[in-house]
Structure 1
Amino acid sequence: MNAPERLDVVDLTVTHGAVRAVDGVSLTVHPGEAVVLLGESGSGKSTLVRTVLGLPGPTARVGGGVLLSGTDLRALDERALSGVRGRRIGYVPQDPDAGLDPLRRIGSQLVEVLLRHRVAAGRRAARAAVPALLESAGLADPERAARSHPHELSGGQRQRAVIALALACSPGLLIADEPTTALDALVRARVLDLLAASGASLLVVTHDMGVARRIGHRVAVMRAGRIVETGPAEQILTAPRHPYSAALVAAQPGALR
């Protein structure tokens, strides 16, 4: 795989009309580190990661910086950014159906990604690589999964197919936005373990304390567009200093361990 990337978000602001969805956020993901961005729905987490990906929305006004191992992503045009997305940054969306074309087989979608980013030397090589990619993402019958349309797979299988797409080009940074929503506890644990085993630097967005507990090296707590506390996962999850962080911890006594 590619070397793990470093992500630096520097004083980032994202404004939609009169609403400042992200308000002066600075955050670093060190190479090989798993950082969990924790907060309630509406706290600005998803807006932050979409902006990192260069997809803040057509009405957004953006300030501040986003650096990927020193590359200023905000200085890149859309063509250059599209080369970064998928090749250097893998993205697992909150809804796996949003990351899959419902009219195309899973294998065909993987082939397209491999060819677009010139990872495979031709269509035959790309097709040959598909079963191993799906198997590495935890799909027990990769040949069947490759032949399937998304609706023919379970929710957990679709999530793993999205992870296979995100990891197809061995990106150095993997961004996952609520990757375990609507999954049962067993599938959720397996998906998290797949992310942790990827070897990429991780930025994982969640409102679930159990996700932070299972894979996070460091946790950043976000509220109303701002980072209110950041620190080692163990410290945040056992002895949070900010009242909001403490309330999040207290609200989820049964979180995944």
Structure 2
Amino acid sequence: MSAPLLQVSDLTVTHHHAGGATRAVDRVSFTLRGGEALVLLGESGSGKTTVARSLLGLPGRSARATGRIVLDGQDLRSLDERALSGIRGRRVGYVPQDPTGSLDPLRRIGAQLTEVLRRHGAADSRRAARGAVPALLESVGIADPDRVARSFPHELSGGQRQRAAIALAVCCGPRLLVADEPTTALDALVQAQVLDLFGRLRAERGIALLLVTHDLAVARGTGGTVAVMRAGRVVETGPADQILDHPAHPFTTDLVTAQPGTPR
């Protein structure tokens, strides 16, 4: 078995505020290998998004993080902001819940992809970067890449915008993809297509996927390992089908019962 790509050990994130301090993440640990998927499943406020953003070095403005986050043998928590900004996009891709969080509404999709490729040195020249755009859009399932490249985000459907955001996240060949509720605003058909795309990226490129969701159907559709979070802690971890069909922890049982009709 290959060595873990990502190792998170005793990650704790505390938010400090005028009234004191709130522990959003409490001693969370997990490992993830290339091509694998880990789903952080939990209700709003469970700490799953804070874990995901901590991998990017963005736990929150008032947050203090402790523990270790090791990617490819490098402790990300030892890096300063300049070094982390070089890792975001290049070694770790991020797909937000709302694609407008990563897409500039005033710039065409092609220009945005070109800029990211040049910023991270993934293309030798601006001309080469522009030439790579159609294939990148096609690789994430966009059927008319030339038109989409010329389009502004508001000219695209919700599914196309999310695919364009995924293209931005993976265009520089990251080893790890972090996706935070990436299908929430999509209908069931497009949601399934996006999850299939994540599966293809894992199989074809060996990308490791960490996906945050509250939706059991999304967790099942992603597969891999599911880690159930409650109040900042992981309360149960295991293969997706095992966790969703035969939960062992009472909280997971309640979570599954609260979402009847989840396809099996």
Instruction: Verify same fold: TM over 0.5.
Output: yes
Match status 1:228 vs 2:235: yes
Quote the sequence identity (%). 68
AA partner of residue 221 (structure 1) = V
Contact 1:214 1:256 survives alignment (8 Å): no
Match status 1:57 vs 2:64: no
Q: Specify which of 171, 177, 188 is matched with residue 185 of structure 1.
A: 188
CA offsets 1:65-84 (integer angstroms, 9 cap, x no match): 11102110001111111111
Q: Specify which of 133, 136, 139 is matched with residue 139 of structure 2.
A: 136
CA offsets 1:166-224 (integer angstroms, 9 cap, x no match): 11011111110001011001000000111111130110000011111112211000011
2: CA distance between counterparts of 1:230 and 1:196? 20
Distance 1:26 1:61, change over 3 A: same
Q: Specify which of 29, 33, 39 is matched with residue 36 of structure 2.
A: 33
AA partner of residue 58 (structure 1) = R
CA offsets 1:207-251 (integer angstroms, 9 cap, x no match): 011111112211000011000000111210111100111111122
1:4 Cα deviation (Å)?
10
Count residues with an aligned counterpart: 255
Distance 1:185 1:256, change over 3 A: farther
Q: TM-score, normalised by structure 1?
A: 0.96
The residue aligned with 2:224 is 217
Distance 1:151 1:5, change over 3 A: farther
The residue aligned with 2:103 is 100
Partner secondary structure for residue 37 of structure 1: strand
Partner secondary structure for residue 54 of structure 1: coil
1:253 Cα deviation (Å)?
2.3
* 1:156-171 equivalence runs, <5 A: 156-171=159-174
The residue aligned with 2:245 is 238
1: CA distance between counterparts of 2:263 and 2:244? 12
CA offsets 1:41-67 (integer angstroms, 9 cap, x no match): 111111111111101122111111111
AA partner of residue 258 (structure 2) = A
Contact 2:220 2:244 survives alignment (8 Å): yes
1: CA distance between counterparts of 2:261 and 2:191? 14
* 1:69-88 equivalence runs, <5 A: 69-88=72-91
Partner secondary structure for residue 198 of structure 1: helix
Contact 2:4 2:31 survives alignment (8 Å): no
AA partner of residue 163 (structure 1) = I
AA partner of residue 240 (structure 1) = P
The residue aligned with 1:7 is 6
Distance 1:5 1:104, change over 3 A: farther
2: CA distance between counterparts of 1:15 and 1:256? 36
Q: Specify which of 194, 197, 202 is matched with residue 200 of structure 2.
A: 197
Distance 1:216 1:35, change over 3 A: same
Contact 2:55 2:69 survives alignment (8 Å): yes
Contact 2:98 2:185 survives alignment (8 Å): no
For structure 2, the residue ranges without an aligned partner over 5 or more in a row are: none
Q: TM-score, normalised by structure 2?
A: 0.93
For structure 1, the residue ranges without an aligned partner over 5 or more in a row are: none
1:256 Cα deviation (Å)?
5.1
2: CA distance between counterparts of 1:256 and 1:137? 25
Runs of 4+ residues over 6 Å off in structure 1: none
The residue aligned with 1:248 is 255
Residue range with higher mean Cα deviation, 204-213 or 23-32: 23-32
The RMSD of aligned alpha carbons is 1.4
AA partner of residue 197 (structure 2) = L
1:255 Cα deviation (Å)?
2.9
Contact 1:54 1:73 survives alignment (8 Å): yes
CA offsets 1:1-39 (integer angstroms, 9 cap, x no match): xx9971111101111121111111111112221111100
